[in-house]
Structure 1
Amino acid sequence: MIEIKEITAEETYPLRHKVMYPNHPFEYIKLPKDQEGTHFAVVKKAKNVTVVSLFFENDSAQFRKLATLESEQGQGHASKLLDFIITYAKKNNAKKLWCNARANKTSYYKKFGLEVSRPKIG
């Protein structure tokens, strides 16, 4: 059985490092505003298997560093966590939820109603 729980920024670091940036120094995975964020994990058998960080600014919320252990990928953990943070953001009056997604992941995020946007230049 899995559960979703709020965790500290520091509790996201080992998974962020292992999944996203294993070839970088550990300090590389830390975000400048980590202490201002709200952080969540999918927990399975007392182990964090998916993590994400959520940052609010005015009426927008940005999620960052969504990561799932390789051995747990494809089991729906990230999808459950995304559904959870979408609801959480709405309950906390966010009018917009966004992320900086890799181009090859945009179709995944579209399944949740998120849209691709491009910054306006000029």
Structure 2
Amino acid sequence: MSRDVAIRRITAEETVPLRHAVLWPDHPVSHVLLPEDASGYHYGAFLSSATTPVAVISVFYDPLPVHPSPDAPSDTSAKAARFRKFACDPNHQGRGIGTMLLKHVFDTAAAEMGCCVIWCDARMSAAGWYERRGMRKFGDIFYKGDIEYVRMMRELVATES
């Protein structure tokens, strides 16, 4: 699959159609726009001949939230990255594309952004998927609308490119 997929940096605007269609299709498009989009790093996974991404993700510098639960990270001062609005076209899920894009973001956050940890607010329905990719839950379950979420994180190790 990796020969058929290219991951590249894209604009925040290029993430919006897929963010909206996959994550919040029953809300207005404005629901998937983030105030910090202008300061983020946005990536898309493209099939070899496509001009629109089949998966998108946005990454920001964002410190780990301080959380009183016992499973929260002990060092909340480490330079951290947070990914948001990670979406893969349902027609292309289960092919490793999302995993490739997430690994790219892990590597980029460590090597280019200088971060020691990465985290996200994950839908509970996707938590197992993230755990299989080296992330772990921390903090309490919470809701965005009627969707159940949990915070997840992973320590990062800088890799040689």
Scaled by the length of structure 1, the TM-score of the pair is 0.92
For 1:35-114, list aligned pairs within 5 A: 35-44=38-47, 45-46=49-50, 47-57=52-62, 59-91=79-111, 92-114=113-135
Deviation, 1:118, is: 0.5
| 2:28 is the counterpart of 1:7 | no
Query: Is the partner of 2:56 in helix, strand or coil?
Result: strand
Instruction: Give CA deviations for 1:78-109 in whole Å, capped at 9, x if unaligned.
Output: 10001111111110210110000011211111
In structure 2, C-alpha distance between the alignment counterparts of 1:112 and 1:75, rounded to whole Å: 14
Instruction: Return the alpha-carbon distance in structure 2 between the equivalents of residues 115 and 23 of structure 1.
Output: 29
Alignment root-mean-square deviation, CA? 1.2
Compute the displacement of 1:112 (Å): 2.0
- Stretches (4+) displaced over 3 A: none
- Decide which structure has greater strand share: 2
Q: Give the gaps of 5 or more residues in structure 1.
A: none
Q: Percent same amino acid among aligned pairs? A: 35
1:89 partner amino acid? A
Q: What CA deviation, in whole Å up to 9, does each residue of 1:9-63 have, x standing for no partner?
A: 0000011111111111111110111111000000112230000000013610000
Structure whose CA Rg is larger: 2
The equivalent of 2:33 in structure 1 is: 30
Is the helix fraction higher in 1 or 2? Answer: 1
Question: Residue 78 of structure 1: SS of its match in structure 2?
Answer: helix
TM-score (norm 2): 0.70
The runs of 5 or more residues in structure 2 that have no matched partner are 64-78, 141-161
